[in-house]
Structure 1
Amino acid sequence: MSLPNIDTDYLSHTLETLLSIASPSGYTDRIVHWVGDELERLGLQVEITRRGAIRATLEGRDDQPARAIVSHLDTLGAIITRIKDNGRLAVAPVGHWSSRFAEGARVTIFAPDGAYRGTILPLKASGHVYADAIDEQPVNWDQVEVRIDAPFASAADTEAAGIGVGDILAVDPQPEFFDNGFIVSRHLDDKAGVAAVLAAMKALIDSGSVPVVRTVFLFSISEEVGSGASSILTHDIASLVAVDNGAVAPGQGSRETGVTIGMGDMTGPFDFHLTRKLIKLCETHDIGHQRDHFRHYRSDNASAVEGGADVRTALVTFGVDASHGYERTHIDALDSVARLLTAYALSEVEIRRDADDVGDLEGFTHQPDDVAEGAEGHRTD
């Protein structure tokens, strides 16, 4: 079986558009509208939850056991915690990221009466004033402040403009797309994943390919703050593949090319059978791939299972260097992710028993436990 072609131009242009739409956790309405409109343009029926998570379904040859693929629309950001006497803003992170990467970032402050622009600066921002002391300042969120690009010199000035505690800040992505395939930007986590998912959906629809079973595409809006897919799965979904970034760093297996299969994260190992199915699909369809394990990482899978979903879970990632910072990936990784998702949607069901919520032992899976040839040990009592 040949896979439908991935339109990488569509993938890149979609990613560029997604990055242009600010969507820190807690301020995601606009991106929900854009993605919802795009899904409808592709010909899908869209369901939106109360808070804005999206469900879109591609019908399959069979209804059960239904599959789901999830990516998240929200990104990192910041929230105002205090208006300072000098009119500047004390902020805390939305999502888990370091103030080291916040220093110097350009931001948009979403106030009820209109947006303002500003910069996140260290408290000691000028070498002409503080000399070497600027390099001795600690790195934490208490050591930065937001300078608003408006004539505000006091707390009263800032508050009079309608800016207050709890307002959300979006950080500029500053994307660059290179002819050699590299993509550099903030918020590739997980807008690059969303773009890859949309490209896979487009490939399936354009080619007339029908998934083997009903496949539900989920887009969560609060993954970066931990709740993610906790409440958007329906009870008929038997397996869930999360699409997110894979951390490229010394000691990690992730790369910025090919697809990286997550074997486990801080919440534990992913489903044995589903994960190895994805690896086999990569091998069958000659999709470049590698494995990795993430010790300080969780995804929509964790929130789904913690929310009570009895689903098999697996993690498909695109390698990202400097995750939750100024990130970099490669179009090859995103193309590989999209190809794997199409292969998964078109793959035969191997565990038919998953169509039922519960059952007896008949048809239940077996994990291999035979000793490999040549690996037998010799024990003496």
Structure 2
Amino acid sequence: MNDVFYKEDTIDLLGRIVNIPSPSGYTKTIIKFIGEYLSDLGIDYKKTNKGAIIATFIGEDNESHRLLTAHVDTLGAMVKEVKSNGRLKLAMVGGFNWNAVEGEYCTIHTASGKKNRGTILMHETSVHVYAKAGEIKRDEKHIEVRIDEKVKNSEDIRNIGINVGDFVSFDPRFEVTESGFIKSRHLDDKASTTLLLQLMKYIKVNNIKLPYTTHFYISNNEEIGYGGNSNIPEQVVEYIAVDMGAIGDGQATDEYTVSICAKDSSGPYHYDLTRHLVNLAEQHKIDYKLDIYPYYGSDASAAIRAGFDVKHALFGPGIESSHAYERTHIDSLKATAQLLYVYVTSAMVKED
């Protein structure tokens, strides 16, 4: 089973994916990349009206289906206001704390296709001018973008093509350490997206016939709550969200194992399907942690809220400092890849 996980290939693909800007609402470029990746492998797919990708592998049983999803959209921002001081006020896309992006380099994507660089800063950054710079609340009133152009006022900004509604993406700063850590923004959920792409590649290259028809759904609106909540075939019985495991005080999840979620803010996940994942991990000696994520929702829970009659579950790599400058370890990616493979090749859950 170890050959399911190609370390170098996975890291290379993850690095390419995290460096493609894709805040929710601005995902055409990354979806095009994924489509071309699948086409190069000879994997057919379809695009939804919302811009997501669904690839389907016909299984030995074509009556009962499975669906696995990961989301490729990320946190980001939009230009809320072109300020008179020649800077930009931002509106969040997705949920994060402003201090998590303070000091980060960014790109403003204009309607014309031009990309302007900038830095996200507090208006009152200079300690030589603002005596209480460190005490001022980090919020949308004080955070702004310093544009790397000669602009002195709002007219100058508009003259270079920047306007309200333009998307702003944050630099990921992707780095792999000799000790096996991967540091980057947007590992949520591009790490899981990479693992699903690698799993599809493995299945295709090795001509593996899955026991059930299985859909791989790359969603693009998860961070704003409605990613994988549509276009679910009626034959789908089991729905797996492959998404990050939350790490922090009181959490069992770590950066070295696959995290299986028993409950998040939407409520418990399907008991029997969750136990099936735990049993598979134990049977195949895959390092895992079972956990509860208190302030979390997934595409699987969105599908349940949308009214789909499916068994739903959630697992994925443990991600440290989620929705900030994130980190995981290669061991966590490997464990997640292994659980993905043994799951899609396993028998479906049979309830008593």
TM range (shorter): over 0.9
Paired residue for 1:308?
307
State the SS of the aligned residue for 1:130.
coil
State the SS of the aligned residue for 1:308.
coil
Q: Tell me if the contact between 1:4 and 1:203 (Cα under 8 Å) persists in the aligned partners.
A: no
1:60-71 to 2 correspondence within 5 Å? 60-71=59-70
Structure 1: distance between partners of 2:141 and 2:214 = 45
Paired residue for 2:97?
98
- Cα shift at 1:3: 7.0
Paired residue for 1:189?
188
Paired residue for 2:129?
129
Paired residue for 1:111?
110
Partner deviation per Cα, 1:338-362 (whole Å, 9 max, x = no partner): 11111111101243xxxxxxxxxxx
Paired residue for 2:226?
227
Partner deviation per Cα, 1:216-273 (whole Å, 9 max, x = no partner): 0000000001111111312121111101111111110111011110001000000011
The sequence identity of aligned pairs, in percent, is: 38
Structure 1: distance between partners of 2:340 and 2:103 = 37
Structure 2: distance between partners of 1:151 and 1:252 = 47
Q: Tell me if the contact between 1:3 and 1:342 (Cα under 8 Å) persists in the aligned partners.
A: no
Paired residue for 1:169?
168
Q: Give the letter for the 2:97 counterpart.
A: S
Paired residue for 1:81?
80
Paired residue for 2:120?
120
Paired residue for 2:342?
343
- Cα shift at 1:139: 2.1
Paired residue for 1:379?
none
Report the RMSD for the aligned CA atoms in angstroms: 1.2
Partner deviation per Cα, 1:138-169 (whole Å, 9 max, x = no partner): 12222200111111111111122221111110
Structure 2: distance between partners of 1:341 and 1:229 = 18
Q: Tell me if the contact between 1:7 and 1:203 (Cα under 8 Å) persists in the aligned partners.
A: no
Query: Is residue 261 from structure 1 mapped to residue 243 from structure 2 by the alignment?
Result: no
- Cα shift at 1:83: 0.9
Paired residue for 1:321?
320
Could you say which structure has the larger radius of gyration? Answer: 1
Structure 1: distance between partners of 2:71 and 2:123 = 33
Structure 1: distance between partners of 2:172 and 2:184 = 5
Paired residue for 2:151?
152
Q: Cα distance 1:350–1:263, how it changes in 2: closer, same or farther (>3 A)?
A: closer
Comparing 181-190 with 299-308, which one deviates more in the overlay?
299-308
- Cα shift at 1:5: 2.6
- Cα shift at 1:4: 5.2
Query: Is residue 32 from structure 1 mapped to residue 31 from structure 2 by the alignment?
Result: yes
Structure 2: distance between partners of 1:229 and 1:134 = 42
Partner deviation per Cα, 1:56-114 (whole Å, 9 max, x = no partner): 01121111210010000100000111111112111011000000111101111011121
Partner deviation per Cα, 1:29-80 (whole Å, 9 max, x = no partner): 0000111111122221110112310000112111121001000010000011
Aligned residue pairs: how many?
351
Paired residue for 2:217?
218
- Cα shift at 1:284: 1.1
